[in-house]
Chains A and B, each alone.
Chain A
């Protein structure tokens, strides 16, 4: 009964979305206040109805209601509760329901908290947001109904893909969706502004928090996925340039560009049409990502629910929204004139360079991801585009980006001189010293790692210099006092930039200095890897809640002391009939110990892999720091919105910049 009610609620939500799409749009065109206001109750109704539908689906998973097809296909009574819940979005139907729920929720926040917006702009934003919703409600109700019943419910389910039964992956999709859908808000604002024919500082101020939120969720989501790959796939790779990874990486890059150009639009009222274009593209890439994942057009293990019809419908949605928005853009973009000018050497120019590099990077990923498809369709060639291509074609742009980042951050708006970059001398010296130190420590190793470390220190020290610059002149105590009172946006920027540097450092060190050892070891045997002694103490068979396991007991010693006892496993999930490798990892600040147990050899001994991975955890720590930076900036934004509303923004008295 609840299931049928939920299905019905979803249909009602679709109707609410249709009303929200049409009525406020007409109201805004005609200037009818009542019609514009209709958007707000409709948005609230959408959230309540979709929320109910989602809760009902979650209940079906929690109580293992096997009369629902989607529960049978993706759950099992033996599954731990966490994965019963994550199973709700670990499949096509449920993940689309989560998608529309977040879409409705974000739309409603504008309805609830958007009093500061012009009424006509708010009405149009909500109408555009609802139109995206209508498309996805249609997709769910017509092709992917999660509430489909089975005539004869089976006794038990088929279990969720064991690779997905993991804490990292349990929360990976919701974060990505918060990011993807967050960009739908930027898109709605962009299209609404194009319809209004007006982009001003207030518009930039509204787009920025949404983009910021989307970007920080995407950062966290991508980091979770990468972390999962690191420990789950058994050899410690953190990025595969898999089409599905690229699908989330492209919107992340464009959102990063949008974040920076929206700042220019807000603070300087220039680069407007470019910001609007980026907002459209960012959501376009989100939709493209959904298409890639859901259609399975590009082979990938992630595409666990592939279906040509659904793929075609999503492609149709993508074409309609991106094509329509770009058409509107072509007609209207010329009306958005800049209201300030800037010199060739200025922060504006540096941010333009940032945007060019991020956009070109995203373009390279885009071309590389879709090239196998294009080559087959147009040139009759079946080929692969893998990591070696992306490493060679994409990385240079990120290196240049990291090189100019600290410079752009300390340049003043409008007009800069050579003097502006002088404080960065300390950062340059630190970078040079770090690279030299790294090179001496790793003699004979590839030169790339020391260069990467130097670059990372340049970015991190640059972020510190940037922050110190904000405190102005005066005694140390005065400056320290001002440092504490700096706005969250200043802190956020420096923290996020430093996080980017930390990630660069982790990647460089890992690629340059990783030590790998593959061997056959007898039980009780001790062997040495890069100064660490590793002992295979025991191997036992065991059972988990829904799997069987072969577990090794291994000890790692250094300097005569046991520093870690680790238990790498090989699991077999009998219901899904699938083995997984569970590496045992001891993470540290300076290095990760990474142990994997392999198959038993004919001799009765065991294949064992040992990795020493220097600075590996810095890769994800950097991503977390970036997200924290985003959150700090977001906190500041809210305060500033409130301050602007009160029309009493006191000058902070900081002469920095």
Chain B
């Protein structure tokens, strides 16, 4: 493990200074803005969860230059992403696509929300009948305690 860490340090030590540097930027502000926008969705392959737009690594710089070359060559955003995926695999995309199993990933939130809402609505409707019904199970001591509590509540409301 120590070797990996040492390798990482050496890799980091060889860094240039900044993420996007002036010399790699495009003349046309509209195209440059497109390049920046695209870059935020592309992973710096040797970094932690950083996009090539944020990363200082050499590889990120190469990818940024590559993205700009493709833009100047007239590729659309989709074509550029497809090109990068063909070269580096889908690992390069920070925003996973919705193909195949990835549908599960994207549907996880909405499905969980539906399930959560369903259970809550069911629970809220069912529990409205608790008053009285549950009260019969109380022991005398619990009854007294409950009265104390509800009195306290009413006093404050």
Q: Is B31 an interface residue when CB atoms closer than 8 A count as contact?
A: no
Contacts of A300 in B (CB 8 A): 48-49
> Chain B 5-47 against A: per-residue CB contact (8 Å), 1 yes, 0 no?
1001110110111111111010000000000000011010001
Q: Is B92 an interface residue when CB atoms closer than 8 A count as contact?
A: yes
Contact A518 B155 (CB under 8 A): no
Contacts of A339 in B (CB 8 A): 130, 134-135, 146
Question: How far does the alpha carbon of A300 sit from the alpha carbon of B50 in the complex, in Å?
Answer: 10
Contacts of A384 in B (CB 8 A): 43, 49, 90-94, 96
Q: Is B72 an interface residue when CB atoms closer than 8 A count as contact?
A: no
Contacts of A368 in B (CB 8 A): 105, 108
Contact A367 B113 (CB under 8 A): no
Contact A342 B128 (CB under 8 A): yes
Contact A356 B113 (CB under 8 A): yes
Q: Is A577 an interface residue when CB atoms closer than 8 A count as contact?
A: yes
Q: Is B156 an interface residue when CB atoms closer than 8 A count as contact?
A: yes
Known contacts A383-B93, A389-B94, A657-B157; A518 and B22 CB within 8 A of each other: yes
Contact A235 B54 (CB under 8 A): yes
Question: How far does the alpha carbon of A378 sit from the alpha carbon of B8 in the complex, in Å?
Answer: 29
Contact B116 A360 (CB under 8 A): yes
Q: Is A267 an interface residue when CB atoms closer than 8 A count as contact?
A: yes
Contacts of B124 in A (CB 8 A): 342, 344, 348-349, 352
Question: How far does the alpha carbon of A599 sit from the alpha carbon of B61 in the complex, in Å?
Answer: 14
CB contacts under 8 Å to A, within B105-152, are: 105-106, 108-109, 112-113, 116-117, 120, 123-125, 127-131, 134-135, 137, 145-146, 149-150, 152
> Chain A 349-385 against B: per-residue CB contact (8 Å), 1 yes, 0 no?
1001100110110011001100100010011011111
Q: How far is the CB of B94 from chain A (nearest CB, A)?
A: 3
Contact B49 A579 (CB under 8 A): no
A342's contact among B113, B127, B135, B149, by CB below 8 Å, is which?
Answer: B127
Q: Is B100 an interface residue when CB atoms closer than 8 A count as contact?
A: yes
B50's contact among A201, A240, A572, by CB below 8 Å, is which?
Answer: A240
CB contacts under 8 Å to A, within B59-104, are: 89-96, 100-102
Question: How far does the alpha carbon of A397 sit from the alpha carbon of B110 in the complex, in Å?
Answer: 10
Contact B54 A233 (CB under 8 A): yes
Contact A579 B13 (CB under 8 A): yes
Q: Is A338 an interface residue when CB atoms closer than 8 A count as contact?
A: yes
Name which residue of chain A comes closest to B46, CB basis.
A299
> Chain A 223-248 against B: per-residue CB contact (8 Å), 1 yes, 0 no?
00000000001110100111100000
Chain A residues bordering chain B, tally (CB within 8 A)? 85
Contact B105 A385 (CB under 8 A): yes
Contact A383 B91 (CB under 8 A): yes
B112's contact among A364, A371, A412, A609, by CB below 8 Å, is which?
Answer: A364
Contact B15 A387 (CB under 8 A): no
Contacts of B108 in A (CB 8 A): 363-364, 367-368, 393
Name which residue of chain B comes closest to A574, CB basis.
B13
Contacts of B21 in A (CB 8 A): 518, 598-599, 607
Contact B18 A367 (CB under 8 A): no
A338's contact among B8, B51, B120, B130, by CB below 8 Å, is which?
Answer: B130
A383's contact among B96, B125, B135, by CB below 8 Å, is which?
Answer: B96
Q: How far is the CB of A491 from chain B (nearest CB, A)?
A: 15
Mark the stretch among A123-131, A533-541, A646-654 that contacts chain B: A646-654
Q: Is A633 an interface residue when CB atoms closer than 8 A count as contact?
A: no
A240's contact among B20, B48, B129, by CB below 8 Å, is which?
Answer: B48
Contact B19 A234 (CB under 8 A): yes
Q: Enumerate 19 A-B pairs (CB-CB under 8 Å) in ascending A order.
A: A235-B19, A270-B130, A339-B130, A339-B134, A356-B117, A363-B109, A383-B89, A383-B96, A383-B102, A384-B49, A384-B94, A385-B94, A386-B43, A413-B157, A519-B22, A577-B9, A581-B18, A599-B16, A651-B152
Q: Give 5 new A-B contacts, CB below 8 A, not counting A379-B101, A520-B22.
A: A383-B90, A386-B41, A386-B43, A607-B22, A655-B157
